[in-house]
A and B are shown apart, each in its own frame.
Chain A
């Protein structure tokens, strides 16, 4: 033992070999997912499943470290920001090649960012702030903004609706042949059967240790196979039988069953995300701020979370938009406005809002059973407070279509993982269904988005959260955890909202 600690370890470290590189190379990981991703082009979709799969073969200029700070990935280092936060000069890594063998150059990066600004919803959102994107030399790209825009780097780092870098010559739309720079390459895709990724031997990881999504990404496994298994019960059995090495998105009820198994073990990502009731601030009876506040006062978040997630092992009451542990955690604006369940207060607010008794149309889906369960509990509390409720239960595809029309709904239910940058939260955008657009929103969000000093931004985020509580364009219900399962043979898996399998090996 002493020999190992005194002689071998220092020797290994001197050789630059981290514990990751000491993992046995090879093996195939079978990963069960909730279904077939709708596309292999991470620019055009904000679906989590698209991000989970494509992050293995497409990469962005930046990504997030384990503390959710932006860190370079294809960029050599963090950008040089000049002219009061308006010019970002990004040095590129010069050892990066695409899966077709061609080197990544500034021209590829410029073309990719332009494609992102044209096609990706987050790219379009950013494009309004960008004056130009240009190649300074083959190894340097410059982005010039019209005005300082602090969320830029987080947007460039995010893995869905992602600013991934593709070869300038292979970026047709729709994308026919995904060619990226990632540690794995797409070898074969049989829809509804499997997506087969194989190690890219030309991949050169960054120096240093793995750090969240950043740092060294090492393709240790030979292959990763993403297998769509839409039935949650089959996913559970697939984990227990050992057919799958990692199984994503399991029902929380399966936790106890997974605990005692030899073939698999539960993986809890705590906290994963937050369910949210989005209000239609544009039209209908939720256009009135008092009526929205009445909803807030009427709801009992504890009962809703208990109905949706069963055990406190999987949820927690939390008024803050970001839970403790995140730099963005603040209680600003929340006092006396969360988990109140006071029907009298709600009734008084309804009277003030001149509520005419027309039904509140709650748009929800059983595609996510916890949305539906929360809606059922919420409906009862709203009725106690004097609301008439019209539950509209539709499939997810219908919900995403109907929510785009302000005439069709008053509240819709969705959820989100905790996004590394608050500016990415959909409800903050005026164009997002809900259409929250008030002077107070504009002032708070603009101040937050244009400030580049990280410390000042934290304080400004508290102002945004306070306005969100004052005007209630949406109601956060609480925090919830996600459950997955992994084989004990799989080593190096880090629980993450978008699980990744570089730096992961299989014990033989």
Chain B
């Protein structure tokens, strides 16, 4: 078992090294120049060249790469070209809205998807099931930015219940900041619920036809107990995996929603960094996101190790 864990850890390191290299190369071979963006539309080529030199962007690619690796080994992700702050601190500032947005979105998605998914599987083929599956398909097809704008129109503009955008001004309380997350979390939650609902339904259908469910029923156990205690508990394992992966996806993939709602999260930071060619931020953020994915996958593998003895041998 120890050997298996060691192998997985080594594999993680290799994956991270490959990610680091690919990100570094892609970011630099993409056209665009942070110096030109920073200096504005009327900057002369000479000014741009001078700033590139100051930022070290005129050095050969390999030298920049070695310098970048050396920094990484020291745990330093570098300094943002535009924000005048270290990449780690810029990411840390963006972590709060992204974390809570992800958390609320997943909670909303789970609250919508799991009960409906369970009931849908239990009443397979009924009107309820058909309506739920159709709505799930609809939710999966709705672009989150469109839903976001719709929510803004109704709940922020017409009824003034929530703010339109941003994450609160200077000194905003925690509650105020959270109030900025309600609409985006709902937009993301509804869209994410579709996948979780379909997985819950499929997983429940599998489990409901298993022998032990039939046995439980034949013992005269009540339907509610059969479904919730025997079937649902076992159906939940793959659903949790999907929820975990959706959460990881939301951390990096809530870009459009964050932009629509003007949320200063990790996603919008990456987008603005790409538009401005803020190389250190792009590299740092992608590195952290990749690490998160690798870590989640590692944890899922370890969970399998715990629940399924076959993996150990």
Contact = CB atoms under 8 A, between A and B. Distances in A.
B167 A47 contact: no
Contacts of A431: 44-46
Contact of B277 (A188, A241, A397): A397
Contacts of A242: 160
Interface string B231-272: 000000000000000000000000000011110100011001
Given A46-B39, A400-B33, A231 B169 contact: no
Interface in A137-187: 160-161, 174, 176, 187
A16 interface: no
Contacts of A228: 262
Contact of B165 (A35, A45, A174, A243): A243
Interface stretch (A67-75, A89-97, A192-200): A192-200
A303 to B, nearest CB: 26
B170 A401 contact: no
A237 B157 contact: yes
A35 B260 CA distance: 12
Contacts of B272: 35-36, 192, 230
Contacts of B39: 44-46, 121
Interface string B191-231: 00000000000000000000000000000000000000000
Nearest to B148: A234
Contact of B169 (A44, A196, A401): A196
A231 B260 CA distance: 6
A226 to B, nearest CB: 11
A397 B83 contact: no
Contact of B36 (A227, A404, A426, A429): A404
B42 A121 contact: yes
Contact of B262 (A121, A176, A229, A429): A229
B169 A234 contact: no
Given A160-B40, A397-B32, A431-B44, A176 B84 contact: yes
Interface residues of B, number: 48
Contacts of A174: 84
A47 B153 CA distance: 32
Contacts of A243: 156, 163-166
A437 interface: no
Contacts of B301: none
A210 interface: no
A431 B45 CA distance: 8
Contacts of A348: none
A234 B31 CA distance: 29
Contact of B41 (A190, A395, A414): A414
Contacts of B164: 234, 237-238, 241, 243
A319 to B, nearest CB: 23
B93 A401 contact: no
Nearest to B81: A38
A216 to B, nearest CB: 28
Nearest to A240: B157
Contacts of B112: none
Most buried by B among A234, A398, A401: A234
A50 interface: yes
A235 to B, nearest CB: 8
A190 B93 contact: yes
A425 to B, nearest CB: 9
Nearest to A435: B45
A402 interface: yes
A354 interface: no
A112 interface: no
A227 B32 contact: no
A50 B82 CA distance: 12
Contact of A400 (B37, B46, B84, B163): B37
Interface in A221-260: 225, 227-231, 233-234, 237-238, 240-243
A204 interface: no
B19 interface: no
B170 A194 contact: yes
Most buried by B among A44, A192, A227: A192
A326 interface: no
A47 B42 CA distance: 8
A-B complex: 6 closest residue pairs judged by Cβ atoms: A46-B40, A397-B32, A400-B36, A401-B33, A46-B42, A47-B40
Given A121-B42, A401-B36, A432-B44, 9 more contacts: A39-B82, A121-B47, A192-B264, A193-B166, A227-B166, A234-B149, A243-B165, A400-B43, A404-B36
